Amino acid sequence: MEKIQLWTKPIEPNGSWAFVVFNSALAMPSIVTVKLSDLGMLNPVGYNVTEVFDGVVLGTKKPSDELKVSVNPTGVFFGKAVVLS
């Protein structure tokens, strides 16, 4: 069974995304690295990326940039990528 699952959903404003990284492992936190383009985020200007639960700003990212997050066992990382214009 895959221990890491990635989910995305388009949100407003148009071109923005919500995304979740779910770690179904029972023992150890996981470090997950993913390119925004692999999540379907293709705006060449980029996105302002924020962790939703705590409001931590992760910065401006382009589609080719990698996002590295730590996800606790049976936990989630919940992010928001607001499109730049």
Report d(CA 83, CA 29) in Å as an integer. 29
CATH of 4-83, one of 3.40.50.720, 3.90.1150.10, 2.60.40.1180, 2.30.40.10: 2.60.40.1180
Grouping H, G, I as helix, E, B as strand and the rest as coil, residue 82 is: strand
Per-residue pLDDT band at 40 (split at 50, 70, 90): very high
Please say if the pLDDT value at position 1 is more than 70. no
Residue from 11, 5, 2, 22 nearest 49 by CA: 11
Closest CA to 11 of 39, 34, 35, 45: 39
Which two three-digit tokens encode residue 36?
């925004």
| pLDDT band, very low/low/confident/very high, at 26 (cuts 50, 70, 90) | confident
Model confidence, pTM: 0.90
Each domain of the chain, given as residue ranges in start order, spans: 4-83
| 53-82 per-position pLDDT tens digit | 999 999 999 999 999 999 999 999 999 999
How much is the mean pLDDT over the chain?
94
